[in-house]
Amino acid sequence: MKMSYREALREALREAMSADSRVFLMGEDVGRYGGSYAVSKGLLDEFGPDRIRDTPLSELGFVGAGIGAALGGMRPIVEVMTVNFSLLALDQIVNTAALYRHMSAGQFSVPVVIRMASGAGRQIAAQHSHSFENWYASIPGLTVLAPATVDDARGMLGLALADPDPVLIFEHAQLYNLEEELSADKVSEIRSARVRRAGSTVSLITYGGSLPKTMAAAEMLAEEGIDAEVIDLRVLRPLDEATILASVRKCRRAVVIDECWRSGSLAGEIMARIAEQAFYDLDAPLARVCSEEVPMPYARHLEEAALPQPAKIVAAAKAMLGK
């Protein structure tokens, strides 16, 4: 069955709420408006205002309320309109949700799921277009997910709700219209990366909205006789080092594609782990393709120039091979 990424998320929400009366959705415009990206469209009529809760424009307040509800035994799904706005709730996420289990010596857990749109490519300028996944992926106590396929959009939410600790789900806004066949096999875990394209010459390691671009780059490389393997991280914390290292040791070259800025990027962390554990398996220096070090431009041609693109990925891989 073919389904869009948006529809897959909606079905995941519907299934979770039907299965467990403790589950509810809260956030800005999730009710009458149907969600900023139409993910929750129709759910207010189906589940009512007690379980589809519109909130004030105060991320600090409603994320904190979601954490409190989780501590009280509920299973809240908190939707933050865009990752940029999540910074207003940084204290609640980093200093409260992530730390409660540790600071209570295991007496309390915070089973909250926080969803947010991330990334650029839609010409809505800097305050709505950045990628801060790397910031959250550096915080102990959080699980950080980046579904890049319809299957993962459909399957990750239920597993996140079953986790006793806080889970952040980053949905790249460029993926909402993506349509794919929904697999008959259910997503069974949220701890592993996936090999999306097998190869033997160079590992292309990525996640989220950069996956389609990386797959396109792999096809372009194949036309030139370069056999690229594509790794979809899926889970940014904890990182699946075993899958990354296995690919690098097979291909002996690696390019990391990451829409975060190069400075302080998740790409840099991945490269460091490869260098620490597989340095002598490499036949060429590691490379990365990240966003340019600028606030995301509004103009389309500048936005496209600032972001990782298939041509940039191809150029990085070819340079590594001396072509």
Residue that is written with structure tokens 């594609």 in the block: 257
**3-state SS, residue 20:** coil
The position carrying tokens 């036949």 is 283
Sign of the CA dihedral with 289 first, then 116, 164, and 12 last: negative
**Integer Cα distance of 112 and 167 in angstroms:** 6
Alpha-carbon separation of residue 49 from 44, 45, 100 (angstroms): 6, 8, 29
Whether 303 is a known active-site residue: answer no
Instruction: Using alpha carbons, list the distances in angstroms from residue 156 to 89, 152, 193.
Output: 23, 5, 13
Catalytic residue among 7, 128, 133, 172: 128
In a 3-state reduction of DSSP, which class is residue 196?
strand
> Any bridge partners for residue 196, and if so which?
none
Q: How far from 139 is each of 94, 129, 307, 322, CA to CA, in Å?
A: 7, 22, 25, 38
Does residue 270 contact residue 205 with C-beta atoms inside 8 Å?
Answer: yes
Residue of 7, 28, 59, 133 marked catalytic: 59
User: What residues have CB less than 8 Å from 162, skipping those under 6 apart?
Assistant: none
Question: Which residues, at least 6 apart from 107, have a Cβ–Cβ distance to it below 8 Å?
Answer: none
- CB-count exposure of residue 83 (10 Å: 0-12, 13-18, 19+): buried
- Number of neighbouring beta carbons within 10 Å of residue 183: 13
Is residue 297 within 8 A of residue 200, CB to CB? The reply is no
- C-alpha 265: how far from its chain's center? 14
For the question of residue 59 being annotated catalytic, the response is yes
User: What are the catalytic residues?
Assistant: 59, 128
